Structure 1
Amino acid sequence: MRRLVMVLALVAPPSLAQSPGWVQGETAELQALDKVTARISTIEARVGQTVTFGTLEIAVATCHRRPADEQPDAAAWLTVKDNRLNGQRVFAGWMFAASPALNMLEHAVYDLRVLECR
């Protein structure tokens, strides 16, 4: 039973919108780095949409930001799959703009971080 709860947490992200100080957004702005070519790209992904960067498929399940009168921050629940690994999931969870090292994609070729939520 305990295992099932953890699996469901990865499929359905917990909502920050019900937490005080967070506002739900519609679009996540992400920054992606290809470590091989040193190419940095800014990616805009609407909530519920999947975008690609290199061999990665990045799905944004939800995106939240702090109101303008509070300290700036953004958080997005991302699921990342690598097509080079037959679509295997390489990341699923929250990424925070103000603390990119807190929960990050660990990949040999790519880095990914959340910049903003609008």
Structure 2
Amino acid sequence: MKTFLTALLICLVMPVCAQQAITASGGTLRVLDKITGRTQDLEFGNGQTQTVELMAITMTECRYPSGNQSGDAYAFLTILYNNAADPVFRGWMIASAPALNALDHPRYDVWALRCSSE
């Protein structure tokens, strides 16, 4: 019991160091057409919009953990389908956990792969 209380006290007293994120110049996304089975990798710059068939995908920002560029990328995306006013997806996608915040579309899957180094 004493060991547990000591460990608990250490955890409460020690400051939690948040990992810093670096904003990259852009990133890479993969798009899957579930009907044809075709995948396509797209390179984006931050703020850039690209069109894939009826989808317009905008990557606002791509970030990665400082000191680990090949680490977990996460990208803020806005995806419009068929020129609709409301996006079918708007939020952060995480490369290592694409299902955590995924595009919910009957035909397409989109996920972040990595951030660009340049």
Correspondence for 1:29: 28
Paired position in structure 1 for 2:38: 39
**Which shows bigger deviation, 64-73 or 51-60?**
64-73
1:100 partner letter: P
Q: Larger Rg: 1 or 2? A: 2
Q: Which residue of 2 aligns with 1:114?
A: 112
1:88, distance to aligned residue in structure 2 (A): 3.6
* Within-5 A mapping of 1:5-20: 20=19
8 Å contact 2:62–2:76 — kept in the other structure?
A: yes
Alignment correspondent of 1:82: 81
Gaps of 5+ in 1: 1-18
How many positions carry a matched residue from both structures? 99
How far is 1:113 from its partner? Answer: 0.2
Displacement after TM superposition at 1:70 (Å): 7.7
- Residue 53 of structure 1 corresponds to 52
Closer, same or farther in 2 for the Cα pair 1:52/1:23, shift >3 Å? same
Q: Distance in 2 between matches of 1:41 and 1:81?
A: 17
Structure 2, gaps ≥5 residues long:
1-17
How far, CA to CA, are the matches of 1:64 and 1:37 in structure 2?
Answer: 31
The share of aligned pairs that are identical, in percent, is 35
